[in-house]
Amino acid sequence: MAKRIVSLKDISKACGVSIATVSKALNDHSDISKETKERIREVADKLGYHPNAAAQALKTNRSNNIGVLFVDEANSGLTHDYFSHVLDSFKKAAEKEGFDITFINGDRTRSNNMTYLSHAIYRGFDGVVIACVEFSDPEVDELIKSNIPVVTIDHSFYNRIAIVSDNIKGIRDLVTYIYEQGHRKIAYVYGMENTAVTQSRLTSFYNTLQDLGVSIPDSYMVPSPYRNTDKAFDATLKLLDLPDPPTVILYSDDFAAFGGMNAIRSRGLRVPEDISIAGYDGIELARRISPRMTTVVQDTDRIGRTAAAKLIDLINNPKGTLIEQIIIEGTLEKGESVGKIPVEE
């Protein structure tokens, strides 16, 4: 049985106001009081009102508001160092151009039945930036395929602008440096999430080892969730218990590397004297601990600024803005956690 569409008339009846007042409130007209707008929007939400997408597209006015879709499955929210810095840079750049930023409700337990696209239309966003989501989610796909200007971060879609960190070069630089330090027994505690970032890094890891003529056993490859120190701790103990353990362990990110460091120390071993480690991301804490983490510092400021600039270009000039993938290079931070060892050929 088809669900009945809620109309402006339904909302006006529930609120005891005219249809014109409802329309003005939902379109944020200045001649309606803030209290009335809030009450009408609350009723509209409860009734499950979704504005007609075609009608919204006919609007000539702009909201100067950009939506941010950020769904962090690890529930670390904006404490996620990489994305928090990217989004902070994005926010500053967008606000400098006169745009406000509003987060799209990414809570999967949310009480309203709005999809991401419905939310974006209802709020009248001029554009949306998408970061840290499950990109295979049908709701994300619906938003991507809509007429709303969209820029994605760290994931590429056909016919959409994407700003991505150069994970391939980052891993290649990191593994090459480790090789130059004499290491041949190289293990990798890699992110177990099946994302474009994970796949790029894994492919680059294997390709770089092949180019360097290094062969490693399958037991040196251990999956572990991103930013999970406990799982990285367990994965590290597993590697240390191998009959022929590695001399260096790479981790999916700096937080995971902290878990690895704790596991190594729990066995009475030292970093890097007894075993070396390396992280990824270049978070502030990794550059302040002792020994300083060997890592790849991602250019979060440039990623955020570029995403904002491209999305605003797309909003202002939809027909004249090039749809492209922009790759932002990171920087190898050699740190102190990878020691030099005699080459065992």
pLDDT at 2: 44
CB 333 within 8 A of CB 282: yes
pLDDT at residue number 89:
95
d(CA 228, CA 11): 46
Question: Domains of the chain by range and CATH?
Answer: 1-52 (1.10.260.40), 167-298 (3.40.50.2300)
Strand partners, 187: 249
Q: Mean of the pLDDT values across residues 283-306?
A: 92
> CA 109 from chain center: how many Å?
20
Structure tokens at 217: 């056993």
Average pLDDT over residues 256-283: 96
pLDDT of residue 87: 92
47/112 Cα distance (integer angstroms): 9
CB 175 within 8 A of CB 209: yes
Task: Average the pLDDT over 244-256 and give the result.
Answer: 96
Q: Is 281 exposed, middle or buried (0-12, 13-18, 19+ CB in 10 A)?
A: buried
Nearest by Cα to 274 from 240, 243, 251: 240
Q: How far apart are CA 89 and CA 304, in angstroms?
A: 5
On average, the pLDDT of the chain sits at: 88
Q: Classify 340 as helix, strand or coil.
A: coil
List Cα–Cα distances, 207 to 28, 138, 141, 211, in angstroms.
54, 33, 31, 6
pLDDT at site 109? 47
For residue 134, what pLDDT is reported?
77
Amino acid at 227: R
Strand partners, 223: 190
Q: What's this model's pTM, rounded to 2 decimal places?
A: 0.78
* Residue-wise pLDDT tens digits, 300-319: 999 999 999 999 999 999 88
Q: Left, alpha or beta for 126 (phi > 0: left; psi -120 to 50: alpha)?
A: alpha
Q: Convert the pLDDT of each residue in 204-231 to its tens digit.
A: 999 999 999 999 999 999 999 988 999 9
pLDDT tens readout for residues 31-62: 888 889 899 989 988 888 876 544 554 444 67
Strand 248-251 to 276-278 pairing: parallel
Q: How far is CA 330 from CA 165, 303, 307, in A?
A: 7, 10, 16
Cβ-proximal residues to 343 (8 Å cutoff; 6+ apart), any chain: 182, 184
State yes or no: pLDDT of 3 exceeds 90. no
CA 49 from chain centre, in angstroms, equals 30
Strand ranges, E, within 62-218: 65-70, 100-103, 127-131, 150-153, 161-165, 186-191
pLDDT(18) > 70:
yes
Distance, in Å, from the CA atom of 232 to the CA atom of 41, rounded to the nearest integer, reads 46
Query: What confidence tens digit (pLDDT) does each residue in 129-166 have?
Result: 998 777 788 999 899 999 999 999 988 887 899 999 99
Pick the closest to residue 233 from 201, 207, 266 (CA basis).
266
Task: State residue 238's pLDDT score.
Answer: 98
Give pLDDT, residue 167: 95
Write out the two tokens for 269: 């071993």
CA 86/CA 186 separation, integer angstroms: 30
- 3-class secondary-structure state, position 159: coil
Mean pLDDT of 160-188: 97
Between 12 and 216, residue with greater pLDDT = 216
- Return the pLDDT at 53: 44
In the prediction, which pLDDT does 1 show? 41
**Predicted pLDDT of residue 93:** 95
Condensed to tens digits (0 to 9), the pLDDT of residues 90-123 reads 999 999 999 999 988 665 445 557 889 998 998 8
